[in-house]
Chains A and B, each alone.
Chain A
Amino acid sequence: MRFQLSFKSGKPIYLQIVDQIRSAAAAGAIKAGEPLPSIRPLAEELRVNRNTVAKAYAELEGQGVIETVAGKGCFLRTNNSPFNKEVRRRLLTDEIDEAVVQAHHLQVSRSEFLRIAEARFDAFEDKRSRAAGKAGA
């Protein structure tokens, strides 16, 4: 998988790594049981402190997204959400709230917002099925 880090997003670098691995997992770019890049080469490639990558992996492990196999590295877990439905819904609600506020400021109407959401779902599913097709080929 590829990472795109920005020092100008205001979001701590380790959280950017966490989020990108989570979305790669959600989009099927990494599959359950597949290994994540090891800390050293990833840190060198991204030119960030190793502690930053280690912190991101520790966070992902705490969230139950990945597991560490001693001597072998980190792998994506089969069921990557340890949260119950209630908690998952709440996490998502917070993110949606932010987007709704943003839409208000950008003068994007409710119906337009919902249209965009639909389109994003389509794009996401499309990406997922293409990733699945590639893995099958």
Chain B
Amino acid sequence: MTTESEAIAVNQLVRRYGRTDAVDGLSLRVQRGRCYGFFGRNGAGKTTTIKCLLNLLRPTSGEVRVFGLDPARDEVGVKARLAYVPDHVAFYPWMTVRETLDYFASFRSRWNADTERSLVDRFGLDVRQKASHLSKGQRTQLALVTAICPEPELLVLDEPTSGLDPIVRREFIETVIGAYQEGAPGRRTVFVSTHLISEFEGLIDEFTIIDRGRNVLTMDADTAREQFQKIYARFPSAAPPIDLAGCRVVRQQGREVELIVDGTHVNHAPVMMDRLKALSPETLHSEALSLEEIFVAALA
């Protein structure tokens, strides 16, 4: 069912807590070498899905595969090939930064000491500092160092930048682009769950929007930005009747119409533009939506 070219395959995943379906029949596939966005509101089921990938939770039904392996059966095989940065990072408080790095390195078959040195330097971390004395930003930076130095094939990030200051957020993303993708970009896969979509926009090749445990939309990022369009038209007098199939009307008032073309209909934006042009508007323009706007439109 899964092939080696897939870093992650989720098939009909269900995870129930009591009577709540946190994840409710989710399917998605992440090709190797891609940077995949996993977008959803708080409580949409993102973290539960990720925990199933890491065997921190067992699926109620359905299956998850990482590099074709079942994380529940082949936990070591899976974990040896990935690294994970959670939203709340915790380290042993009595260890120093140096000891923490050595401790993490001891579990890994590879550990790039040059990368470690340059990142510790870049983040300005004091290796003699106790983990308990680190700020939230510094803890996340340390977690990122421990995730990147083993040069894993898959980097799983769960809301990595929420609650951090803008400088730390920027550095975090630049590090993922620079240091993580450095070695062999084709073999470095990123799976990032976030609701701070605009920050990761430039990084994302493909994404899935999850809501109430279900897959709402999976699309290639460039295709989505090309096909989801916001169109504004103003007519000389009251707007004539318009066939609005495949669109969501944002505003329709007097002489003005503003609508969002549902990008899942291939090439529907130019069709709508032609349709509106034929009605001789006095003004007509369209603009693409950013991924964040697409997210909002998809959940509207």
* Count of chain B residues with a beta carbon within 8 Å of a chain A beta carbon: 27
Q: Chain A residues near B277 (CB, 8 Å)?
A: 105
Are B185 and A50 in contact, with the CB atoms below 8 A? yes
Q: Chain A residues near B178 (CB, 8 Å)?
A: 40-41, 43-44
Are A47 and B181 in contact, with the CB atoms below 8 A? no
| Interface hit among A2-10, A27-35, A115-123, A128-136 | A2-10
What distance in Å separates the Cβ of A116 from its nearest Cβ neighbour in chain B? Answer: 18
B126 within 8 A of A: no
Docked complex Cα distance between A82 and B47 (Å): 51
Main SS of chain A's interface residues? helix
Which of the residues B173, B181, B201, B226 comes within 8 Å of A50, measured between beta carbons? B181
Known interface pairs A8-B288, A8-B289, A43-B178; A13-B222 also in contact (CB < 8 Å): yes
Are B284 and A5 in contact, with the CB atoms below 8 A? no
Are A10 and B203 in contact, with the CB atoms below 8 A? no
Docked complex Cα distance between A27 and B216 (Å): 45
Docked complex Cα distance between A130 and B35 (Å): 41
A80 within 8 A of B: no
Q: Chain A residues near B288 (CB, 8 Å)?
A: 7-11
B177 within 8 A of A: yes
What distance in Å separates the Cβ of B230 from its nearest Cβ neighbour in chain A? Answer: 9
Are B35 and A49 in contact, with the CB atoms below 8 A? yes
Known interface pairs A10-B226, A43-B178, A54-B185; A105-B284 also in contact (CB < 8 Å): yes
Name A's B-contacting residues (CB within 8 A).
5, 7-14, 40-41, 43-44, 46-52, 54, 105
Name B's A-contacting residues (CB within 8 A).
33, 35, 170, 173-174, 177-178, 181-182, 185, 201-205, 222, 225-226, 229, 277, 284, 286-291
